[in-house]
């Protein structure tokens, strides 16, 4: 079970958090101008990488804040956490 | 008690304290300190169970948690009964009752033993291959297979014991209290680390605590004496917590471990009342030191499973620790030096050793010379080829091994014995290490897997790290711990060791026999009766991956997870397939290391705490007034209120009629309530609901529908504008938490520029809904200050008011189609306001109604319930709710998806009303809807989502989803049921008062 360093609260048990899928997928500003395929790309397509992945997490049983995490899915190592809107601190 | 088997020399056994216990209905005696296994052996009992598949007699094989055979049922037929307990782990107490499993009528005469004679036709995969045809017969086969297989019996009544969970945080966790573990714990604690030391046994010191051998010494002291001093010292350390009888079950990522602490299992039953039996420790350690030791390997030869065949290290433990001789005429069979330690323990007590069979041609160690000096015959370069004796071994036959170890040569010699100790070397106990995600490497020279890559801040030391020699163990433990903890080693200046053992080994995974492999039964997995022959068969049939071979042959799939035989299975596979060890993978060790009770897993979350429920502020009134309850999410909601002997149908019919004829009252406190504030609150609502919100006036209410980004209906509810920048949103009862989460998600991640704040206020308000033609009269009595005239307080509007000086919010909104009010008041006053309404409504037959009536009343009006009439595949268009989808708004959540090629299909399932041909016939919710029953296969058009008998319309009504239903008004469809077909007509989903006359009636 992970020990997650919430950018607002500090280290907490994984059971306080909820995973929210891939990070840095921006909701299109003008969805009506997108083709079906372009909209489907935004709506349905996710990477699911084996290796370093950028993810959204929510401290749902804590401060309720969403934040981003860089995690290696092959060994569950958390490389970094950072606030929404910030640039990833690692590549 | 057979006196010649018990030696009164052990300090771990209290000979002044005699304990009586029952095994298979017969009373025996042991001493305090005995395990069930040691006490049975002292009574000359080896045969304790029958094997899983062939029902072969099986005896005690080991002395620890790796035991595959001696699994027994404790306290059969009592509330404390427990199946599949290892006799080697049970500490005996006065009154213990144990019995054999998997045998009938008795362990000595077991009818299932016929399977042993049938074994030539019961190969690996027998059940898979045989019971495939005809497929429909499986259920019949299964009944008999389940009956004849299986281990112990599960308890039939509630567990009387108490269990609990406890969190522990420490700097250093040391698992295993052998030599390395104790040294590590002392070094950690003395250097300021908050340390926890756990061991599964009731004593500290591991297998060295009874090592009184003159051949191995530490600082010139015999090992047990040296260890006792160390234990004495660490037990006084302040920084160190020690827990015995504590077995680590799981080692998860980020150094999170689960351990089971056994607190009362060793006590007589009458001393266990009101005590916690087992505790699940949830340990988060900064650093973990694994010192779990190693498990002795058996040897794989024909008929290697008879009672009386044991691990050589177990024989040593029984004699040295418990003072029990396992046999009076022993033979040891080994491929390495450790069996000679057992030999010395036997020699010291004058117990007969008939011979030692050693696979090795050359043996060159002090201890082996010493054994030879005692006139023990050692057969060098020999192997056991067969064993004899049904309920207990009585003979073995041996032959000379060829040079390459692949065949046997020469003549067969028979030797008598009543106990055969086997030693195939040692396997590091890397189970916890691999559970944590650690990667192993194979060490060719002594054929063991050892830890290689650590996934977290942890280290393995001692023999679980592949260090077997005493000098190696101590030297490497010291240097590893020093480095791992970054400390100076001030605790152990010089530790000098001497050892009479040599580390040489002649490893042969499957020992050769003079018989062909098909005629042998060389067991690899004792508990699941998997033999070397089965593994070879699996390879012949094309299985390659160890995970496949394991499942096909069931090797390693027993309750012991193959702690003894897994290495041999891998070895036989690699030898047969001509591959390198580990090339076909190693099996995965999964938690728990040893089985856990369900009690330990659930802890205190039993009974009313199993699934904690939420109560509304008015709950007690519902209970006092005979309500039946329904679970909605975590809530207990009043379902209906039966009067006099009414059944559910009768109560709901009465409640529904009363609500439309005069007045009804509903506890709606469970509806989710979200307080929304901020200068962009209106814009925010515009984006999350399908309809427009900017122009909603202060003091007005509006119904809103919320979609997912894929365009499917997610939630609905009425939102009220309380002020310029202040709204209160209601959500469905079950959806409240998810809606809040979703709104927060969009606010924080997509629209952080919006000035909006959300708080859940669901629990802060009690919500009472009063409806019906007389609702106005009732509410005017309860809230006298409020002008309820249609001009001042029209439908879909809101007023602040007071009841007895307590502030409240009143909305005129309706989920029933009747004139109705919703009173929201601070939760603590909910019950008294409810009672006020009941009192005010007395003259109008005010009738409390529950969720079932609520559902019926809204169905009459064709109002949907999200989650009942919708299932995340329906858009608002599918629900025929086009009117609520704004055409003008540029964007809202899910808008773009409403015109994807898939969502604009005409033949999507759409919500319709259904009327039965026979008005008395009520459809079943979930029933399938079809048009043509003659066509094969019948095309399913949809299903019934809501169905009731309406007392107000005096007919059956239903809602359902039907492919292309929008254009099928008036069309006849069929609902096929088990013994009849019901004819229905597609109708408008609004069954009652489509014009809204009731809602707008002048009252």
Q: Is residue B865 part of a domain?
A: no
Residues of chain A with pLDDT below 50 are none
Q: Are residues B720 and B761 in the same domain?
A: yes
Residue of B nearest to A4 (CA): B254
Q: Which residue has the higher pLDDT, B745 or B558?
A: B745
User: In the predicted model, is pLDDT for residue B532 greater than 50?
Assistant: yes
ipTM: 0.97
Q: Are residues B289 and B302 in the same domain?
A: no
Q: Are residues B828 and B967 in the same domain?
A: no
Contact criterion met (CB below 8 Å) for B764 and B826: yes
Q: Are residues B460 and B359 in the same domain?
A: no
CATH of the domain at B536: 1.10.10
CATH of the domain at B943: 2.40.30.110
Q: What is the pLDDT of residue B135?
A: 62
User: In the predicted model, is pLDDT for residue B133 greater than 70?
Assistant: no
Distance CA B265, CA B272 (A): 8
Asked if B839 reaches chain A (Cβ–Cβ under 8 Å), the answer is no
Q: What is the pLDDT of residue B140?
A: 62
Residue of A nearest to B738 (CA): A60
Candidates B643, B641, B658; CA nearest to B845 is: B658
Distance CA B830, CA B803 (A): 11
User: In the predicted model, is pLDDT for residue B649 greater than 70?
Assistant: yes
CATH of the domain at B712: 3.30.1360.120
Spatial neighbors of A19 by CB under 8 A, at least 6 apart, are A55, A56, A57
CB contact under 8 A, A2 and B253: yes
User: In the predicted model, is pLDDT for residue B465 greater than 80?
Assistant: yes
Contact criterion met (CB below 8 Å) for B113 and B288: no
List the single residue in B710, B750, B901 with the smallest CB-CB distance to A43.
Answer: B710
Chains A & B: contacts with CB separation below 8 Å:
55
Q: Is residue B360 part of a domain?
A: yes
Smallest Cα distance from A48 to chain B, Å: 20
Q: What is the mean pLDDT of chain B?
A: 93
Task: List CB contacts (< 8 A) between A4 and chain B.
Answer: none
| pLDDT tens for each residue of B47-79 | 998 888 888 899 999 999 999 999 999 999 999
CB contact under 8 A, B900 and A40: yes
Q: Are residues B271 and B303 in the same domain?
A: no
Q: Are residues B909 and B782 in the same domain?
A: no
Task: List CB contacts (< 8 A) between B252 and chain A.
Answer: 1
Q: How many CB atoms lie within 10 A of CB B722?
A: 18
Q: Are residues B246 and B318 in the same domain?
A: no
Q: What is the pLDDT of residue B106?
A: 74
User: Domains plus CATH for chain A?
Assistant: 3-83 (3.30.2270.10)
Share of chain B above pLDDT 90, in %: 84
Q: What is the pLDDT of residue B582?
A: 76
Q: How far is CA A58 from CA A53, A62, A83, A91, in A?
A: 16, 9, 11, 22
Task: List CB contacts (< 8 A) between A56 and chain B.
Answer: 749
Residue of A nearest to B453 (CA): A75
Asked if A34 reaches chain B (Cβ–Cβ under 8 Å), the answer is yes
User: In the predicted model, is pLDDT for residue B510 greater than 80?
Assistant: yes
Q: What is the pLDDT of residue B1?
A: 42
Contact criterion met (CB below 8 Å) for B956 and B949: yes
- The residue among B475, B498, B521 that closes a domain is B498
Tokens of B615: 């109560």
CATH of the domain at B68: 3.10.20.440
Asked if B895 reaches chain A (Cβ–Cβ under 8 Å), the answer is yes
Q: Are residues B492 and B403 in the same domain?
A: no
Asked if B897 reaches chain A (Cβ–Cβ under 8 Å), the answer is yes
Q: How far is CA B853 from CA B67, B117, B636, B950, in A?
A: 60, 66, 16, 10
Smallest Cα distance from B395 to chain A, Å: 52
SS3 B800: strand
- The residue among B371, B389, B422 that closes a domain is B422
Domain range for B456 is 162-294+428-498
Test the B interface: residue of A19, A63, A75, A78 with most B CBs within 10 Å:
A75
Smallest Cα distance from A44 to chain B, Å: 9
Q: What average pLDDT does the segment B944-972 reach?
A: 97
Q: What average pLDDT does the segment B92-102 reach?
A: 93
Q: Is residue B876 part of a domain?
A: no
Smallest Cα distance from A37 to chain B, Å: 9
CB contact under 8 A, B437 and A75: yes
Residue of B nearest to A3 (CA): B254
Q: What is the pLDDT of residue B964?
A: 96
User: In the predicted model, is pLDDT for residue B228 greater than 80?
Assistant: yes
Asked if A65 reaches chain B (Cβ–Cβ under 8 Å), the answer is yes
Distance CA B466, CA B443 (A): 9
Task: List CB contacts (< 8 A) between B895 and chain A.
Answer: 31-32
Test the B interface: residue of A15, A27, A68, A74 with most B CBs within 10 Å:
A27
CB contact under 8 A, A39 and B750: no
Q: Is residue B341 part of a domain?
A: yes
Asked if B888 reaches chain A (Cβ–Cβ under 8 Å), the answer is no
CB contact under 8 A, A1 and B744: no
SS3 B986: strand
Q: Are residues B537 and B445 in the same domain?
A: no
Contact criterion met (CB below 8 Å) for B655 and B666: no
The strand pairing partners of B946, in sequence order, are B959
Tokens of B85: 């307990």
Residue of A nearest to B903 (CA): A36
For chain B, how many structural domains are there in total? 6
């Amino acid at each position: 079970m992970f020990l997650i360093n919430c950018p607002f609260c500090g280290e907490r048990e994984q059971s306080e958090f909820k995973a929210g899928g891939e990070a840095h997928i921006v909701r299109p500003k003008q969805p009506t101008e997108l083709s079906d395929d372009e909209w489907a790309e935004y709506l349905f397509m996710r990477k699911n990488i084996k290796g370093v992945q950028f993810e959204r997490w929510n401290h749902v049983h804590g401060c309720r804040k969403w934040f981003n995490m860089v995690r290696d899915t092959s060994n569950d190592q958390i490389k970094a956490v950072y606030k929404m809107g910030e640039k990833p601190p690692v590549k | 008690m057979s006196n010649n088997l018990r030696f009164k020399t052990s300090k771990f056994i209290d000979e002044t304290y005699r304990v009586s216990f029952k095994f298979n209905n017969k009373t025996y005696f042991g001493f305090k300190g005995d395990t069930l296994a040691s006490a049975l052996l002292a009574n000359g009992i080896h045969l304790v169970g029958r094997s899983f598949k062939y029902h072969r007699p099986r005896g005690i094989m080991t002395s620890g948690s790796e035991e595959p055979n001696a699994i027994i049922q404790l306290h059969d037929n009592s509330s404390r009964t427990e199946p599949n307990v290892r006799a080697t782990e049970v500490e005996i107490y006065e009154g213990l009752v144990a019995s054999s499993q998997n045998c009938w009528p008795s362990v000595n005469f077991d009818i299932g033993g016929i399977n042993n004679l049938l074994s030539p036709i019961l190969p690996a995969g027998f059940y898979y291959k045989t019971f495939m045809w005809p497929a429909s017969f499986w259920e019949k086969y299964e009944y008999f297979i389940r009956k004849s297989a299986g281990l112990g019996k599960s308890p039939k009544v509630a567990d009387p014991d108490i269990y609990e969970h406890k969190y522990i945080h420490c700097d250093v966790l040391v698992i295993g209290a052998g030599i390395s573990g104790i040294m590590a714990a002392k070094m950690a604690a003395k250097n300021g680390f908050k340390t926890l030391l756990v061991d599964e046994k009731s004593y500290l010191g591991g297998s060295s605590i009874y090592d009184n051998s003159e051949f191995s010494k530490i600082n010139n002291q015999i090992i047990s004496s040296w260890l006792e001093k160390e234990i004495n010292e660490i037990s006084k350390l302040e920084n160190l917590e020690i827990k015995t009888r504590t077995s680590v079950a799981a080692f998860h990522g980020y150094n999170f471990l689960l351990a089971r602490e056994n607190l009362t299992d060793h006590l007589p039953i009458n001393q266990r009342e009101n005590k916690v039996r087992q505790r699940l420790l949830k340990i988060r350690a900064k650093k973990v030191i694994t010192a779990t030791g190693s498990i002795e390997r058996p040897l794989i030869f024909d008929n290697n499973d008879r009672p009386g065949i044991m691990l050589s290290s177990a024989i040593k433990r029984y004699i040295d620790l418990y003072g029990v001789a396992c046999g009076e005429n022993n033979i040891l069979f080994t491929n390495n030096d450790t069996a000679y330690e057992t030999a010395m323990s036997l020699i010291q007590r004058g117990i007969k050793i008939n011979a030692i069979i050693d696979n090795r041609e050359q043996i060159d160690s002090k201890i082996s010379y010493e054994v030879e000096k005692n006139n023990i015959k050692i057969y060098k370069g020999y192997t056991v080829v067969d064993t004899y004796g049904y309920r207990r071994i009585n003979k073995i036959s041996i032959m000379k091994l060829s040079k390459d170890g692949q065949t046997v040569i020469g003549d067969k010699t028979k030797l008598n014995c009543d106990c055969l100790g086997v030693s195939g070397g040692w396997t590091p106990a890397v189970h916890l290490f691999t559970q944590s995600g650690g990667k192993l490497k194979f060490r060719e020279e002594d054929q063991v897997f050892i830890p290689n890559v650590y996934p977290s801040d942890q280290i393995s030391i001692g023999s679980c790290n592949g260090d077997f020699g005493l000098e190696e163990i101590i030297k490497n433990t010291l240097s590893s711990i020093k480095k791992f903890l970054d400390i100076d080693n001030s605790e152990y200046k010089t530790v000098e060791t001497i050892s009479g053992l040599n580390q040489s080994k002649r490893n042969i995974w499957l020992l050769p026999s003079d018989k062909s492999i098909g005629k042998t039964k060389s067991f690899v997995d004792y508990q699941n009766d998997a033999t070397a022959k089965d593994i070879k068969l699996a390879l012949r049939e094309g299985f390659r991956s160890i995970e496949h071979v394991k499942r096909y042959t069931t090797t390693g799939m027993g309750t012991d997870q193959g702690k003894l035989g897994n290495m041999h299975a891998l070895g036989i596979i690699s030898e047969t397939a001509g591959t390198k060890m580990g090339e076909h993978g190693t099996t995965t060790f999964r938690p728990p290391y040893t089985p856990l009770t369900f009690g330990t897993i659930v802890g205190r979350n039993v009974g009313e705490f199993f699934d904690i429920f939420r109560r509304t502020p008015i709950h007690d009134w519902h209970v006092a007034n005979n309500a039946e309850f329904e679970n909605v999410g975590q809530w207990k909601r009043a379902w209906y209120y039966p009067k006099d002997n009414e059944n559910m149908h009768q109560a709901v019919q009465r409640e529904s009629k009363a609500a439309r004829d005069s007045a009804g009252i509903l506890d709606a406190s469970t509806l989710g309530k979200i307080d929304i504030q901020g200068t962009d609150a209106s814009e925010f609502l515009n984006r999350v609901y399908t309809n427009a919100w900017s122009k909603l006036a202060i003091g007005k209410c509006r119904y809103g529908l919320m979609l997912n980004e894929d365009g499917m209906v997610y939630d609905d509810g009425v939102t009220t504008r309380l002020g310029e920048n202040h709204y209160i949103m209601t959500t469905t009862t079950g959806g409240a938490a998810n809606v809040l989460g979703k709104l927060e998600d969009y606010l924080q991640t997509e629209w952080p520029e919006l000035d909006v704040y959300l708080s859940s206020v669901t629990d802060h308000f009690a919500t009472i809904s009063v409806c019906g033609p007389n609702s106005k009269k009732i509410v005017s009595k309860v809230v006298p200050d409020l002008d309820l005239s249609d001009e001042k307080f029209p439908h879909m509007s809101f007023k602040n008011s007071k009841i007895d000086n307590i502030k409240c919010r009143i909305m005129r909104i309706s989920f029933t189609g009747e004139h109705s009010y919703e009173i929201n008041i601070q939760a603590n006053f909910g019950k008294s306001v409810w009672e006020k309404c009941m009192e005010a409504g007395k003259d109008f037959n005010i009738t409390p109604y529950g969720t079932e009536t609520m559902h019926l009343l809204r169905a009459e009006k064709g109002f949907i319930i999200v989650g009942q009439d919708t299932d995340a595949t329906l858009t608002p268009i599918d629900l025929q709710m086009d009117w609520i989808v704004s055409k003008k708004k540029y964007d809202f959540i899910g808008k773009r998806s409403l015109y994807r090629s898939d969502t604009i299909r005409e033949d999507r399932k759409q919500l319709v009303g259904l009327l039965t041909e026979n008005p008395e016939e009520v459809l079943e919710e979930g029933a399938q809807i079809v048009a043509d029953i003659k066509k094969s296969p019948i095309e399913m058009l949809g299903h019934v989502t809501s169905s009731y008998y309406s007392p107000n319309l005096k007919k059956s009504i239903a809602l359902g989803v039907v492919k292309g239903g929008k254009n099928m008004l008036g069309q006849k469809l069929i609902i096929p049921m088990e013994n009849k077909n019901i004819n229905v007509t597609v109708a408008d989903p609004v069954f009652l008062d489509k014009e809204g006359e009731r809602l707008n009636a002048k009252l």
